[in-house]
């Protein structure tokens, strides 16, 4: 059995409850560049993960502050998944990932860093995108600054999708 270690996530997990307010609600009302927002829809937003597993790792979240998946309205669920799909299209155009991990972490025990505002992770993957740096040096190497990734994905976002 092989293990994938992500020690840089421990810092985030330990401090997740210390952050004032909700990161997703702050993104809904905040500045796109500062909050790493890629796209604003009618019922949901897409934003980069500030603590990514890989370059281009983004999340989609409903605009409404909702803590339980089953509280989402049908139109919210549809828009969340459409935004995830649109973001995957933008990632494919810009970075050509070889695969994706999509996931809902619902509840702290399931790995949710933010437990009271549901969100879907979209993580692009490439062959060999894991290396020794996180394990040996507790350093995550990303080839591009988050601000640049945000700008490029926002510009590549498909036109007309919930604008």
Active-site residue among 117, 119, 121, 145? 119
C-alpha 36/C-alpha 45 separation (Å) is: 11
Model confidence pLDDT, tens digit, residues 37-46: 999 999 999 9
Judged against a pLDDT cut of 90, whether residue 111 lies above it is answered with no
Q: Is 120 helix (H, G, I), strand (E, B) or coil?
A: strand
Confidence of residue 136 (pLDDT cuts 50, 70, 90): very low
State pTM to two decimals: 0.79
Burial class (CB within 10 angstroms; exposed 0-12, middle 13-18, buried 19+) of 6: middle
C-alpha 140/C-alpha 4 separation (Å) is: 13
| Model pLDDT, residue 51 | 82
Percent of the chain with pLDDT over 90: 56
CATH numbers and ranges of domains, the chain: 8-156 (3.30.428.10)
In this structure, what token pair is assigned to residue 39?
A: 């796209």
| Model pLDDT, residue 117 | 92
- Of the ranges 14-28, 34-48, 49-63, 122-136, which one carries the lowest mean pLDDT score? 122-136
- Comparing 91 with 54, the larger pLDDT belongs to 91
Long-range contacts of 11-18 (CB under 8 A, 24+ apart): 12/51, 12/113, 13/113, 16/113, 16/114
Model confidence pLDDT, tens digit, residues 56-100: 999 999 999 999 999 999 999 999 999 999 999 999 999 999 999
For 6-34, give the DSSP string: -THHHHHHHHGGGSSS-HHHHHHHS-HHH
Short-list 122, 129, 125, CA closest to 38: 122
Active site residue 121: no
């Amino acid at each position: 059995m092989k293990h994938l270690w992500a020690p840089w996530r421990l810092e985030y997990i330990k401090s997740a409850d210390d952050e004032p307010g909700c990161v997703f609600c702050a993104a809904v009302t905040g500045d796109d560049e500062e909050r790493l927002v890629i796209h604003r829809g009618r019922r949901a937003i897409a934003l980069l993960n500030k603590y990514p597993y890989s370059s281009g790792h983004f999340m989609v979240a409903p605009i409404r502050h909702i803590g339980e998946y089953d509280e989402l309205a049908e139109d919210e669920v549809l828009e969340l998944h459409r935004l995830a799909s649109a973001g995957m299209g933008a990632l494919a155009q810009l970075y050509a990932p070889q695969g994706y991990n999509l996931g809902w972490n619902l509840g702290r025990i399931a790995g949710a860093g933010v437990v009271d505002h549901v969100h879907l992770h979209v993580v692009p993957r490439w062959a060999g995108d894991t290396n020794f740096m996180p394990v040996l040096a507790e350093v995550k190497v990303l080839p591009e600054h988050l601000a640049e990734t945000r700008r490029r994905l926002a510009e590549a976002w498909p036109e007309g999708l919930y604008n």
